[in-house]
Structure 1
């Protein structure tokens, strides 16, 4: 009994744990799934409807109505976000970001994430000097003039990469993982997404 238990633990627990860590942890930081699903506004609208309907079962129809209302607001704002992001010419829709957080946005609106300062979804990982040299090359090759960072994280590394790349590369901070305070333009989800779309399209269209 004990022996088998230990064996089983070693075989599956440790090995699988390590394998999984190597396979997904290093690559993405958050596991194999990108957790930044809120950059897909239609997914968020559907979630609001599902949650509202779920709560309505025990608490009354007002929750379903509320979920539908929020979903409508999100879908309406998504049209504005789409118009802003699609105003960028297709060949300019190239994103360099501080970490891998804009995958959903890129997929929905036809952008390419060409490189990240931190080579994973985690903001805790440390890029090697070789990673940074490679990123500077990508920025130069693609003719990119903007690195998008996160208001919630230090921008020191992104600024160092921008300086190294030269050619007036700017660092623009987006609201990636949290809302902004009063008067930030990102006080709630819808305004956060609109502000991010304005910042992205404004920076890329200025090139």
Structure 2
């Protein structure tokens, strides 16, 4: 009996020693963010004060990406859950709803702005979730996220540091807006016409006086498909307006856009943009600010004489 007790005590000491050597779990609060665009923004606001877990990988499609069981489990333990909302995260919405139902504090970027509605296509009249294409909308998002972070995390976050980061990032957004306004104003008004893979630039168009004359997929989601009549209508619009380029999302195949360019019978380039996702490092859209600057340069070049 004494030997058995001694053995158990020895085993307990070994387990205790091993436990003492194991790395401690992070004691920082956890903020889970659905899209990588918002993940980048939240990271700029909180720095290393908070663990930011972004669910969407670079170059993914926000309408259809999925998460692992481990990520779902962590999502339900978050101190704050940040999503885009307005129907963007179609493949993830059930998990967001479940976490909110279990009491996870949540904030949707779409609730922090006055959304625009789609003007046409099969989503006509519905709220457009692609709010990040207008940096001034992101100024409102940053203000709302700053408040939500402070409310959800309380004393776990240095409020002064958060306020300073928020002010600095807001200044960067306003500088970006000025750069974009200048770039689009330099394009002759008659040539400020966009054709894209799907309807994604409504906010940009409203902000910078750009006309969106159509989309290969006349929908707010990449999960839809165009009909033959949709393509015919768009070919007619391209012929009528003489657009110089079709802009295709870099994370989506551009086969349809290329076919449409060929069918239009005019010299129309197909230009890749980073519209709904950040890229891997070194590919041109590692951060939200870099993504918008890259897109602005490519659109301005594609539409200019």
TM-score by length of 2: 0.57
* Distance of 2:167 and 2:140 partners within structure 1: 9
Alignment gaps of 5+ in structure 2: 1-118
Give the ranges of 4+ consecutive aligned residues of structure 1 lying more than 3 Å apart after TM superposition.
Answer: none
Once the two structures are TM-superposed, the CA of residue 114 in structure 1 deviates from its matched residue by 0.6
* Partner in structure 1 of residue 122 of structure 2: 27
Deviation readout 1:173-201 (Å, 9 max, x if unpaired): 11110012222221101111011000000
* Distance of 1:128 and 1:196 partners within structure 2: 28
More deviation, 85-94/97-106: 85-94
* Partner in structure 1 of residue 238 of structure 2: 139
Q: Among residues 213, 234, 237, which one is paired with 1:114 in the alignment?
A: 213
Please tell me whether residue 81 in structure 1 is matched to residue 180 in structure 2: yes
Please tell me whether residue 67 in structure 1 is matched to residue 170 in structure 2: no
* Distance of 2:242 and 2:170 partners within structure 1: 38
Is the 1:95–1:115 Cα contact (8 Å) retained in structure 2? Answer: yes
* Distance of 2:123 and 2:272 partners within structure 1: 21
Greater fraction of residues in helix: 1
More deviation, 50-59/86-95: 50-59
TM-score by length of 1: 0.82
* Distance of 1:53 and 1:35 partners within structure 2: 21
* Distance of 2:224 and 2:147 partners within structure 1: 39
Larger Rg, first or second structure (1 or 2)? 2
* Partner in structure 2 of residue 188 of structure 1: 287
RMSD: 1.8
Once the two structures are TM-superposed, the CA of residue 145 in structure 1 deviates from its matched residue by 1.9
Q: How many equivalent pairs are there? A: 181
Q: 1:1-207, aligned counterparts within 5 Å?
A: 27-28=122-123, 32-57=126-151, 58=154, 59=157, 60-206=159-305
Once the two structures are TM-superposed, the CA of residue 61 in structure 1 deviates from its matched residue by 2.0
Is the 1:100–1:120 Cα contact (8 Å) retained in structure 2? Answer: yes
* Distance of 1:65 and 1:52 partners within structure 2: 10
Once the two structures are TM-superposed, the CA of residue 49 in structure 1 deviates from its matched residue by 2.6
